[in-house]
Chains A and B, each alone.
Chain A
Amino acid sequence: MSKMLLEAKELHTYYGASHILHGIDFHIRQGEGIALMGRNGMGKTTLIKSLLGIVRPRHGRVMVCGDDFTKAPTYRIAQRGIAYVPEGRGIFPNLSVRENLQMAARAGVDGQREWTFERVMATFPRLGERINNGGWQLSGGEQQMLTIGRALMTNPDLLILDEATEGLAPLIALEIWRIVKEIRKTGIATMIVDKNHSAVTSICDRAMILVKGEVVFDGDSETVRDNPELIQKYLGV
């Protein structure tokens, strides 16, 4: 069985008095792809933030590669090979495309440097054409590509994409999915949150559905894709 990258046990997370995550167990192994699904407000982003130390769970444990990281700062989790592409992108608008990428460059946990600047350019040729443009000059699709490219420059073992295609035109969204599929083929584990259920379930091998901060389904993504009752019941589409 492949190496456990990220694991959570009995996570309870609150925003003030609001109890958001109700005892979530989670794990993702090397090379695995997980579609994290659920309607708006069900706790998907909170789960990601809890796993990454951006929001502190009140109870439970977070393990990275078997070590306890429950109280570790986010940068230490990132240093263990976990890259996060947040909702809303978050590039540096005053830095050029090149600078945005170069500032993220580092070797992976095992010293791997498979994702070089040149490889990112080859994966996102459009970024090459905008290399000296400032982040603020990029379109939404270009910003998304830059954010993913920047995450890859850290040579991660796990890439987390939160609403990667939100607000993008259909053709651009399809292009992002094509690239994510290519990234998956390189063996990087991937956790994806997106409203396009059929796209995420076709890219990921596992699906996890959250309802009101609890896991109501954790299984292979084909089961979700081929089960309209399940989709209707928990995802409401």
Chain B
Amino acid sequence: MKKALRIIHEEHRALAAMLGGLRQLVEGIEKGRMKADFGLIGAMIEYIDKLPEKVHHPKENDYLFARLRTRCAEALPVIERLEADHRRGEARIRALEAAADVFRQGGEIAFPAFHAEVLRYIEEEWKHMNAEEHEIFPLAEKHLQDEDWAAIEAAFVANDNPWEGAAGEYAQLFSKIVNLAPPPIGLGPGG
């Protein structure tokens, strides 16, 4: 696998770990095994917001998709679909945040809507990541040329830190989540 694709894959894994943790948390709340810790929920949403929006998507849009667009017409519909997903990302995360806020204010009665919003968000993210890995990656490996990879990798390697951000700016947020999340998700106090 090309280095740039490996970095994207690693970022997907880190994001998937966080999404998996969020899913476990809402399932734990639903079953009464875990408390609704809004500090933790807020931190998880903040991480999911910041990492893809500030670190991950710009790399894909500005380098990988931009180069592939010029090399492979077959990739255009997929790229357009994925870029549209990226554009909707902000609205989707705001919807998730709003649902969390309604849950915080409304209590138990508002939980099902929050739960549904979390599951919808996760499902869309999975579809998006799968499309990138199963549709874009093979086309990129087939059609991009050495000069494309050199340019993409130069940009990606400068930002090769999948779960902390390039300068480790999200490391503290990540640690906070791990230390707040109840077992078995993290190291925090029991549910």
**Range of interface residues on chain B?**
20 to 34
Q: Which of B146-178 contact A (CB under 8 A)?
A: 160, 163-164, 171, 174-175, 177-178
Contacting pair B2 A226 (CB below 8 A) = yes
Residues of B within 8 A of A (CB): 1-3, 6, 9-10, 13-14, 16-18, 20-21, 160, 163-164, 171, 174-175, 177-179, 181, 183-187
Interface size on A, residues (CB 8 A): 19
Residues of A within 8 A of B187 (CB): 126, 139, 141-142, 145, 172, 175
- Which residue in A171, A202, A225, A226 is a CB contact (below 8 Å) of B178? A171
* B21 adjacent to A178 (CB under 8 Å): no
A binding-site residues for B, Cβ under 8 Å: 125-126, 139, 141-142, 145, 169-175, 178, 198, 202, 225-226, 228
Interface residue SS majority, chain B? helix
Q: Which residues of A contact B183 (CB under 8 A)?
A: 139, 141, 169
- Separation of A236 and B175 alpha carbons in the complex (Å): 32
| Residue of A with least CB distance to B6 | A225
**A171 contacts B177, CB within 8 Å?**
yes
Smallest CB gap from B24: residue in A: A169
- Contact partner of A171 (CB less than 8 A), chosen from B160, B171, B181, is B181
Pairs A-B, 6 closest by C-beta atoms: A170-B17, A175-B178, A126-B187, A171-B21, A139-B183, A141-B187
Give CA–CA (A171, B179) in the complex, Å: 10
Residues A178 and B10 in contact, CB atoms below 8 Å apart: no
Q: Is the CB of B17 within 8 A of A126?
A: no
B-side contacts of A139, CB under 8 Å: 183-184, 187
